[in-house]
Structure formats: structure tokens, C-alpha cells
Amino acid sequence: MNSSRYPGFHRLSPEARLDRLVSDGWLEAPQAEALRRELEPLLDRFSENVVSGIRLPVGLVVNLVVNGRASVVPLATEEPSVVAACCKAAAVTSGAGGVQALSGERRIGAQVLFRTPLAPAEVQARLDELLPAFLRAVGARHPRLAAAGGGVQAVTFEPFNGRCPGAGAFLLLLDPADAMGANLATEIAEHFARVLEQHMPGEGLGGIVTNYPLGRPATATVRLPHECLAAEGRDGRCVCERVEALSRWAAIDEKRAVTHNKGIQNGIAGVLAALYQDWRAASAALDAHACRQGRISPLATWELTPDCLVGRFEGPIVCGMAGGTGPYRPTTEPFLKMMRVGSAGELEEMVAAVGLLQNLGALLAIATTGIMPSHRKLHERKAQDIG
């Protein structure tokens, strides 16, 4: 059996890595060539041991109106019907005034695990003493963040008591300004761990960002007159009733709620992936928000009123306009231009709106034609083109 040990593999170029894999029998030459064709010059700078890349289709969500402004939004996905369903839902809602969205409170947390012989009250006293100087140091180390009004907003200590005697976690609450903020949070946490060791007995065991949502969530709402949703021979109120029933199903059945929320994240993760942002962090935060009451709840709900179907999304949207890998991708700037967003808050609102529309598109399909007819058409087209 070939060994998978490759000392110094990271020092090779992507082409040299592929050559090694062929010479060692892991790949045939035509297979390596298939991987080589997907290489891009920048990819080796984004990750480690790179040998190829993958391409996701980026479709455009059109017909979109958010906060009274028309927009075109990129959505990266390999899944059939996602973009089509979102476009259909956007067309329905734009005729009723579009989606109203509100960004959340942009906060990100960082944690330091600390082991100390001090009692919690003594830890708090030491924390109160060292905090002013630490906050000044953070401002000096991150002047752009400070100039944008960001930085550490609060630091708290949670002792683990009997769960882990002698240890606890410090939580640093940060305003990341226009950045997503994960690397910033981790860097500040690691710095804070060193500061703690200088000011109190004990040992910092690690500092790291938390993907748990800590700020106020973003929201998106839409009000649709019943007649907007007439489809497939059913009057609008009948379709609205079916959509509301599907929404209630997700509220009472966790097995359905998981898939309900996955559909919402088809839209949210798709937009963030198109912008080369960390959609896994966004997904983790949304999952945590959905479970905040001890069970899985739907991220979007639909309620029938005497004259309207009212849809509402609520959840954290983890994104940013600064930092990360996105700005280095040549596609990011034109995508943001089409989206017409100029700040992280505006991006949050657009992504939240897409999440709500993706949910509406899925529920409309389930309530009328079913999901599979449109899936089947795209699969047949793909088979014809490839076969």
C-alpha cells in the first residue's frame, strides 16, 4: 500500500504535488490532468496542499426588491431549482412592495479558557483592574477598528464550578465594524490570554472565536395579499393556507424544521459562498439560533391574516465587507456592485431577504406542484448536455 506520508508536501507547487501523486500511484495521468485544468493561480495562497479547485455555478436572483431598492444577487449552488425558486418568490414579493429587512447588532465573541486558583470574586476584581489598560492596548493594536467605532465592548467571566473545578471562560464581546471578525476575535483572545497570565495566578489554556450568535439577529419580513399567490388552479387564499400549514408543521415537528431551515440556508449560504465568505460560520450561528429554546425551531414563519400572508425571518447573518479572502477574488467586486450594498449591515439585510425568499419559494413548490417536477427538468437538461 502506498504511504500517505509526504514530508514537505506543502512546499511543493500544485503542479509538483500532482506529479508526485501520479508517480506514487495515487492518480493516473489523465486524472491528474483533470485536476490540473481546474487550478487557478490564487488558489494556492488561499489554502494548503492545493492541487485543484472546484467550480460552483453562480446564478443570479433577479426580480428582487429589498427595502424599496431593486437588486440582483449572486447565489452559488450545485443544487437544482434553488435559484429558480428564489427568483419566483422574489417576483411574487416585488409586486407587493418587496421585502423589508433590518440588520442585526453586529457582535462577535471570543473566549479564553483560564485555569486559576482564585475564587470567582477575586477573578472579577482582577479583571476590573486590568480591563482599562487592555482596552487601550486593543485600540492601539487595531487603529482602523477603533476609528470605525469597533473594538471590545465588554468582558465577562463564567466560572465552571463543579463542571470543571478551578477553571472558567472569559467572554470578550466585540464590535467588528464592517468585518466578519473571526480572525480579529481570535487574535484579541490570544492577546487577552497573555495579559491574564501577567495579572493573575493561573494559566490560559487557549483563546478562540466563538461562532455562537451574541448580537441582535437580523430580520426580514414580507406581506403578500392573498391574490398574489394564486397558482396551479388554486386561488390565492388556498395557497396561503397551505403555506401557513407547512410553516406550522416546521414549528411543531423538529424533523421537518431541520429541512425547513436547510432550505433557508440554501439561499443564505449560497450568497455568502458566491462572495467567498465563511458560510460555515453563518450556518453554525443560524443552527445555534434555531436551537436557542432547547429545541429546533424554524428560522422563518408564515402566518395567514384576513388579507395577507405574512412571512418573517429572524436569525444571525454572519458576514462582512472587509477582511477575509473575498476581496482577493476578482468576482467579488462585480457581485457586490449588482447587489448594491455598501456596508456589512446592508449585506446582512440582503442575505436575510434571500433566506426568507428561498423559504417562500420552497414552500410554494411543496404546496402546489411539488418539488420534483422542476428538479426533474433540470436533471434531464443536465443529462442531455453531458450525455
Integer Cα distance of 197 and 146 in angstroms: 25
Fill in the DSSP letter of residue 252: H
Higher pLDDT, 62 or 1: 62
Annotated active-site residue 278? The verdict is yes
pLDDT digits over 353-376, tens only?
999 999 999 999 999 888 766 656
Integer Cα distance of 104 and 32 in angstroms: 46
Q: What angle do CA 237, 375, 266 make, to 5 degrees?
A: 75
User: Which of 28, 79, 203, 235 is an active site residue?
Assistant: 79
User: Which of 278, 287, 346, 349 is an active site residue?
Assistant: 278
Cell numbers representing residue 138 in the block: 486593543
Please give the C-alpha separations between residue 362 and each of 9, 113, 247, 265, 266, in angstroms, as whole numbers: 45, 42, 11, 12, 10
Query: What structural domains and CATH numbers belong to the chain?
Result: 14-46 (no CATH), 59-104+217-386 (3.90.770.10), 108-210 (3.30.70.420)
Question: Residue 376's pLDDT is what?
Answer: 63
Determine the average pLDDT of the residues in 27-56: 94
Integer Cα distance of 317 and 218 in angstroms: 7
17: nearest Cα among 35, 41, 30, 40:
35
Determine the average pLDDT of the residues in 156-165: 84
Question: Residue 165's pLDDT is what?
Answer: 73
Please give the C-alpha separations between residue 104 and each of 137, 145, 154, 311, 334, in angstroms, as whole numbers: 28, 19, 18, 18, 25
215: nearest Cα among 185, 186, 258:
185
The SS3 call for residue 283 is helix
User: Which of 187, 197, 262, 303 is an active site residue?
Assistant: 262
Element (H, E) at 332: helix 332-339
Determine the average pLDDT of the residues in 278-304: 97
Mean pLDDT of the chain: 93
Question: Residue 326's pLDDT is what?
Answer: 85
Question: Residue 15's pLDDT is what?
Answer: 96
Contact in structure between 146 and 291 (CB atoms under 8 Å)? no
Higher pLDDT, 234 or 101: 101
Integer Cα distance of 364 and 105 in angstroms: 31
pLDDT digits over 22-31, tens only?
999 999 999 9
Integer Cα distance of 117 and 165 in angstroms: 9
Residue-by-residue DSSP string for 84-138: HHHHHHHHHHHTTT-BEEE-----EEEEEEEE-SS-HHHHHHHHHHHHHHHHHHH
Integer Cα distance of 2 and 50 in angstroms: 20
Cell numbers representing residue 163 in the block: 463542571
198: nearest Cα among 136, 116, 255, 274:
116
Question: Residue 387's pLDDT is what?
Answer: 59
Q: What is the CA radius of gyration of the chain?
A: 24
Largest CA distance in the chain: 73
CA-CA-CA-CA torsion sign (267, 73, 71, 82): negative
Question: Residue 282's pLDDT is what?
Answer: 97
Return the bridge partners of 208, or none. Answer: 111
Annotated active-site residue 262? The verdict is yes
State if pTM tops 0.75: yes
Positions of E strands within the chain: 58-66, 69-76, 100-102, 108-115, 151-159, 167-175, 203-210, 218-225, 300-304, 308-315
Write the Ramachandran bin of 218: left for phi over 0, alpha for psi from -120 to 50, otherwise beta: beta
| Burial (Cβ within 10 Å: 0-12, 13-18, ≥19) of residue 306 | exposed
Annotated active-site residue 375? The verdict is yes
Annotated active-site residue 88? The verdict is no
pLDDT digits over 181-214, tens only?
999 999 999 999 999 999 999 999 999 999 999 9
Contact in structure between 272 and 266 (CB atoms under 8 Å)? no
